[in-house]
Amino acid sequence: MKNFYPEQYIRDNNYQINHNYLKEQFSDCDEILLKIKEVINNSDYTLGKSVDEVESLIAKECQTKYAIGVGSGTDALMLSLKVLGVGPGDEVITSTYTFYATVGAIVTAGAKPIFCDCKEDYNIDVDKIESKISAKTKAIIPIHWTGKPCDMIRLKEISQKFTIPIVEDACHALQAEYFGQRCGSFGDLGCFSFHPLKNLNVWGDGGIIVTDNKSYSDQLKLIRNHGLIDRDTCLQFSYNSRLDTIQAVVAKHLIENKLLHITKTRIENAKLYDQFLTDIPEINVQKRLPHNKEVFHLYTFQAKQRNKLASYLQEKGIDAKIHYPIPMHMQPAAKRFNYKKGDFPVAEKLCASTISLPVHEYVKKEAIYYISNLIKEFFK
C-alpha cells in the first residue's frame, strides 16, 4: 500500500490560505533546537525530564491531579480503555461523527463500538445514549468535536446512574471549557493529542491522558512503558507508548510561550467568521452558547452545494476541507458491525453538508474577510 501523505502535503502546500501552518508555528525552531541539544547532551530520549515537566504543565492546564504522556492521542484513548478493564466482549458507546482514531482505539482495545447519533452541534446526542446501554457497556467516549464541549453535566448524570466510566476524547479541546471547567477533567480520564495539526502540536506524534484517579495514573505509567517499575522488573507485559522527550521539549515550548495566544486568536478568528457568514441563507453557522468556551480546532459549518463550494474555494487558493464525508458506521472497516445508511440521520446529514475553513492563529483578518466574500460571491 502506497504512503499517500507526501503527495497530500505537496498538494496542500499549493493553497494560499492553508490548514497547515507548521512553518509559521515553528519559525522559532532554532530556539527549540537549542533546547533539544540538552536532550542530546543528557541522552534522556526515553521518558526524560521534559516529559515529567510537560505532564505537570498539562495537569495544571486541565485542572487535574495527574497527566501521563503517551505516544499519540489514539494511544491515549486505547490505554485509557485498558486501565478501565475494557477488552473482548465489551461494548463502548461513542459518536459516529468522529475521527477514525476514536473507533480504532475501541477496536484495538478489543471492544465493540456502539455508535450513537449526534446533534446539529456535531457532538454526541446525549438523549440517545441510554438506549444504547447494555450489560456489556464498559465505557462512554464523548468527543468535543473541533473544540466544542459536549453536554458533560448530562453525561456525568448518565455515567453515575449506570456506573459507566467516561473517557473524554478531548483531542481537539485543550483549554476548552464547559461552565468554567476544563474539558478533559469531567470524565474518569481525558485524552489529548499533540499531532502536528492540533492546537498544541509537536514535531511528530504525541498524546497525553489526564485524570484525578491515582490508581489510573499509576497503571497508565506502568503500561505505557512495558510494565516496568525499574529497568530490571516487569510487573505486567504491556505496551510501548511513551511520549518522546524531544516531542515533550516542543510541547513544553509551546505551552510556556504560545498556548494562550493560540487559543485566544482562534476564538477571535471564529468570531469574525461568524460575523461575516451568519447572514448568508445558504449556510448554517453553529449557535454559540455562553457556557461554552470553544477553542476551534477547525471552523465548520453546513452549506448547500457543499462540494461545489469546497471546489470553488480551492480553485481560489483556499484550503477548504471536508471533515468528514463518511461517518464511522459507513466506513468499510465498520461493515462487520452491521450498521447501514439511515441508522444515524443527523450524522449522515452533517457529513453531506459540512465544510471546514482554516481558523488557526496565522490566518489574518484580511484572509477571513476575503474567504467570506468568496463564499458570498459563490452563493450569488
Domain C-terminal end among 206, 235, 257 = 257
Q: Which domain holds residue 314?
A: 258-379
Residue 334 falls within a domain, yes or no? yes
Number of domains into which the chain is organized: 2
CATH of the domain at 154: 3.40.640.10
Cα separation values, 157 from 130, 226, 238, Å = 11, 36, 33
Residues 242 and 103 in one domain: yes
Containing 178, the helix (H) or strand (E) segment is strand 177-178
Residues 249 and 266 in one domain: no
Helix 365-379 to helix 306-315 angle (10° resolution) is: 130
The confidence score (pLDDT) of residue 308 equals 98
Q: Which of 153, 175, 130, 148 is nearest to 288 (CA)?
A: 148
Cα separation values, 286 from 97, 152, 269, 297, 303, Å = 16, 19, 14, 14, 11
> What is the mean predicted confidence (pLDDT) over 186-208?
97
User: Can you name the residues that pair with 141 across neighbouring β-strands?
Assistant: 94
- Per-residue pLDDT tens digits for 81-137: 999 999 999 999 999 999 999 999 999 999 999 999 999 999 999 999 999 999 999
Residue 15 falls within a domain, yes or no? no
Phi, psi of 208 (to 5 degrees): -155, 150
- Per-residue pLDDT tens digits for 142-196: 999 999 999 999 999 999 999 999 999 999 999 999 999 999 999 999 999 999 9
pTM: 0.97
Domain C-terminal end among 222, 257, 292 = 257
Pairing of strands 167-169, 189-193: parallel
The confidence score (pLDDT) of residue 225 equals 98
Domain C-terminal end among 221, 238, 257 = 257
Give residues with Cβ within 8 angstroms of 235, minimum separation 6.
Answer: 222, 227, 228, 229
CATH of the domain at 265: 3.90.1150.10
